[in-house]
Amino acid sequence: MPEPLVTIRYYDTPEEARRDQRILGRAGITVYVGGGPRGGMRFRMPAGEIRVPESQAERALSLLPPQPPNLLAPPEVPSVCPWCGSDRARYAGAVARILGFLGIFTAASLTVRRHFELAALVGCCTVFAIWRANIGGDLVCANCGRQWRPPRAAPEPEPEDEPRSVNQPEE
C-alpha cells in the first residue's frame, strides 16, 4: 500500500510551489504539487500546495526556506468578552464597513436628488465615522455589544551592544 501524503505548505502562486518543488526534487524527496490557477488571493484560496510522503515531511520542511507570515490572515481575536463571558467577539471594522455602505448609498441618493451640500456633508461624516471605527482596533462583543481594546504584546527588547572596556580603542 502506498505511503500517505501530507500537505506541508500552501502557496499564493503556482510559481512559488514549483520553486520549492525543484528544491525538494534536487534533494531526492518525492514531491507532488497540487492546486492550480483558479486559486490565489482573488478567491482567498491557495493557488498551490506541496505534498510529500509522510515519512519525508520533516526532512522536506527542514530543506525549505522559512515561509513569510501571511499578512492577509485575520488576526487572532481573544475568545472571551470580559463582561459577559461570550466567545462571540469581533473587530469593530465590520461596523465601519456597514457605515461606509450606508453613507455612500445616502450620499449617492442625495446627489441624484441634487442636494449637493448635504451629500458632501454626509460623505465627510461617513469618512470620519469609518476612520474613527478603524483607528482603535477595538473588539465588540456580539452578545452584549460592549467594546474593549485587546491587550497588546510588549515590544521585544533590543539586543544591547557588547560592553567595551575603557582601554579598548574604537574602530
The CATH number that applies at residue 56 is 3.30.70
Q: Is the pLDDT of residue 121 over 80?
A: yes
Among the ranges given (17-31, 51-65, 109-123, 131-145), the one the predictor scored with the smallest mean pLDDT: 131-145
Greater model confidence, 142 or 53: 53
Q: Which residue has the cell 473587530?
A: 91
Q: Is residue 142 part of a domain?
A: yes
Do residues 96 and 142 share a domain?
yes
Q: Give the per-residue pLDDT at 139.
A: 78
Domain that holds residue 37: 5-63
Q: pLDDT tens across 36-67, in order?
A: 555 444 445 567 889 999 999 999 999 998 87
Domains: count for the chain: 2
Residue 159 in any domain: the answer is: no
**pTM for the whole structure:** 0.41
Is the same domain home to 138 and 99?
A: yes
**Cα–Cα distance measured from residue 115 to residue 132, given in angstroms and rounded to the nearest whole number:** 26
Residue identified by cell 473588539 is 139
Q: The dihedral of CA 5, 38, 12, 100: what is its sign? A: negative
Contact 97, 129 (CB under 8 A): no
